[in-house]
Amino acid sequence: MKEILEELENRRDAARMGGGQRRIDAQHARGKLTARERIELLLDEESFEEFDMFVTHRCTDFGMEANRPAGDGVVTGWGTINGRMVYVFSQDFTVFGGSLSETHAQKICKVMDMAVQNGAPVIGINDSGGARIQEGVASLAGYAEVFQRNIMASGVVPQISVIMGPCAGGAVYSPAMTDFIFMVKDSSYMFVTGPDVVKTVTNEVVSAEELGGAGTHTKKSSVADAAFEDDVEALAEVRRMVDFLPPNNRSGVPERPFFDDPGRIEPSLDTLVPANPNTPYDMKELILKVADEGDFYEIQAEFAQNILTGFIRLEGRTVGVVANQPMVLAGCLDIDSSRKAARFVRFCDAFEIPILTFVDVPGFLPGTAQEYGGVIKHGAKLLFAYGEATVPKVTVITRKAYGGAYDVMSSKHLRGDINYAWPSAEIAVMGAKGAVEILYRSELGDAEKIAARTAEYEARFANPFVAAERGFIDDVIMPHSTRKRVCRAFASLRGKSLENPWKKHDNIPL
């Protein structure tokens, strides 16, 4: 018996060494942690239960039979984050560059299947040279098995990808189908074809960082949702985010103890909106002042900054926030902001996370770049996402809600449950200046007349009361009481039950 126990310990020790000390040192020298160190930081202490530590590959080509490290380049299992269960896989770059073999894929598939069956999120830590070259099509098949599971798990359990090394070729498509992608600055990159292929095919000379680094994907492509300084920060932030998420699509949002008065009054909000309707202000201030303990987990903070998306808690329960940001492009909707917000709204709806929308939007951004880029279809994504969402939806219009953008931003007409406006709200087809220029074109030479027409239009429409008279706005609220009113609104909607008609699936304008 003693020998068997010793053998177990020896085998475990060997597996824990991955590709050996030399490669572990090389990993550290690049500022990267090992697969196991990452899991340790991600999960609660001592909570990790590992599976398949002794799995080895079955490849016999290229002399591979002589090199069969236990675990086959990926560490898998489950553990907890602040007491809540998650499944995890972490690729081990020290073993064949973390490349994906048939058995490596099977290990990932096993935890994904268990996650779906048991209703817990999957977190994948990616650090891999892609398909295991020695295994050929068996490795490609392994990828496709993972892809299929990503698709089946989508909308059932949250899927999070953390990119902590190379992620290239078709391998990027597994993270791409997960709900959130986080990257580490300067040590992770994602691209379909690397810099060498790019140079051969298009003659462009570009570095790996420029082509697919964290900056590129959080600022330009919007493939990634956030970038962090190093592995430690990235894993701490994943823990913070998982805290906001429900474990699956049937569990409802998590409830946490909270230490913030739901009735908290914020007098400073009464002066948040400047007197001049064209002066910007920071919508983030409103979000922070409404949220429990001022805690806002922003998603895609660096991309399409004219709209803000992220999670807060109200009375300890997670709420998704979408808010126009007047500081950037006057808060208008455009292709990027519509895509960003639509995806976020759909994530919230899939996982029964209520949605709070703050509106200050002068309309859609005009221009050929937008029209040629398909703003019609992309704008429709957000409209569609709000309209199909059945979760509780509370909306507060702080200032402008003009034109089609008024309709889009969780209006009453798209089944907004409770729609509030601040007294500073202006709900109209367009701003006074634009409206007068169209309606009174013949009087444009007469400044006095135009001023009078503008004043008349403002008096009629630059307020929330016309909409309130029709019941499109449920109440006009004092800015200082926003937290209280919004908390009470969501509390009143906890029993909401709304179902869309049966369909195989919808056809959102992709």
**Any idea which residues carry the catalytic annotation?**
169-170, 404-405
Largest CA distance in the chain: 102
Phi-psi region of 96 (alpha: psi -120 to 50; beta: other; left: phi over 0): left
Q: Is 166 in the site for ligand HXC (CB under 6 A)?
A: yes
Amino acid at 22: R
What is the C-alpha to C-alpha distance for residues 292 and 471, in angstroms, rounded to an integer? Answer: 29
Q: Is 197 in the site for ligand HXC (CB under 6 A)?
A: no
Q: How far is the CB of 164 from ligand HXC (least distance, A)?
A: 13
**Binding ligand HXC by CB under 6 A: which of 143, 351, 384, 386?**
143
Q: Is 191 in the site for ligand HXC (CB under 6 A)?
A: no
Q: State the DSSP H helix or E strand holding residue 237, giving kind and residue range, or none if neither.
A: helix 231-242
CA 347, chain centre distance (Å): 8
Stretch that binds ligand HXC, among 40-48, 127-135, 286-294, 492-500 (CB under 6 A): 127-135
Give the residue carrying structure tokens 């409404």.
Answer: 290
For residue 272, what are its two tokens? Answer: 């948040």
| Closer to ligand HXC by Cβ: residue 197 or 451 | 197
Contact 258, 292 (CB under 8 A): yes
Stretch that binds ligand HXC, among 124-132, 178-186, 291-299, 470-478 (CB under 6 A): 124-132
Contact 364, 403 (CB under 8 A): yes
How many residues form the binding site for ligand HXC (CB under 6 A)? 16
Q: Is 129 in the site for ligand HXC (CB under 6 A)?
A: yes
What is the C-alpha to C-alpha distance for residues 298 and 312, in angstroms, rounded to an integer? Answer: 9
Q: Is 79 in the site for ligand HXC (CB under 6 A)?
A: no
DSSP SS3 for 255: strand
Q: How far is the CB of 86 from ligand HXC (least distance, A)?
A: 25
For residue 362, what are its two tokens? Answer: 């002068």
Q: Is 136 in the site for ligand HXC (CB under 6 A)?
A: no
What is the C-alpha to C-alpha distance for residues 224 and 299, in angstroms, rounded to an integer? Answer: 9
Query: Which distant-in-sequence residues (6+ apart) come within 8 Å of 216 by Cβ?
Result: 209, 210
The residues in 8-37 that bind ligand HXC, with binding defined as CB under 6 A, are: 23
**Binding ligand HXC by CB under 6 A: which of 69, 71, 97, 175?**
97
Q: Is 130 in the site for ligand HXC (CB under 6 A)?
A: yes
What is the C-alpha to C-alpha distance for residues 183 and 181, in angstroms, rounded to an integer? Answer: 7
Q: Is 131 in the site for ligand HXC (CB under 6 A)?
A: yes
| Closer to ligand HXC by Cβ: residue 91 or 463 | 91
Q: How far is the CB of 73 from ligand HXC (least distance, A)?
A: 9
Stretch that binds ligand HXC, among 95-103, 264-272, 369-377, 387-395 (CB under 6 A): 95-103
Q: Is 263 in the site for ligand HXC (CB under 6 A)?
A: no
For residue 489, what are its two tokens? Answer: 């609104």
Q: Is 96 in the site for ligand HXC (CB under 6 A)?
A: yes
Q: Is 331 in the site for ligand HXC (CB under 6 A)?
A: no
**Binding ligand HXC by CB under 6 A: which of 17, 168, 333, 468?**
168
**Binding ligand HXC by CB under 6 A: which of 107, 132, 313, 381?**
132
Query: Which distant-in-sequence residues (6+ apart) come within 8 Å of 431 by Cβ?
Result: 277, 362, 400, 402
Q: How far is the CB of 20 from ligand HXC (least distance, A)?
A: 9
What is the C-alpha to C-alpha distance for residues 352 and 493, in angstroms, rounded to an integer? Answer: 12
Q: Is 170 in the site for ligand HXC (CB under 6 A)?
A: yes
What is the C-alpha to C-alpha distance for residues 402 and 386, in angstroms, rounded to an integer? Answer: 17
DSSP SS3 for 182: strand
Q: State the DSSP H helix or E strand holding residue 120, giving kind and residue range, or none if neither.
A: none
Stretch that binds ligand HXC, among 94-102, 224-232, 391-399, 435-443 (CB under 6 A): 94-102
* Site residues for ligand HXC per CB under 6 A: 23, 96-97, 99, 129-133, 140, 143, 166, 168-171
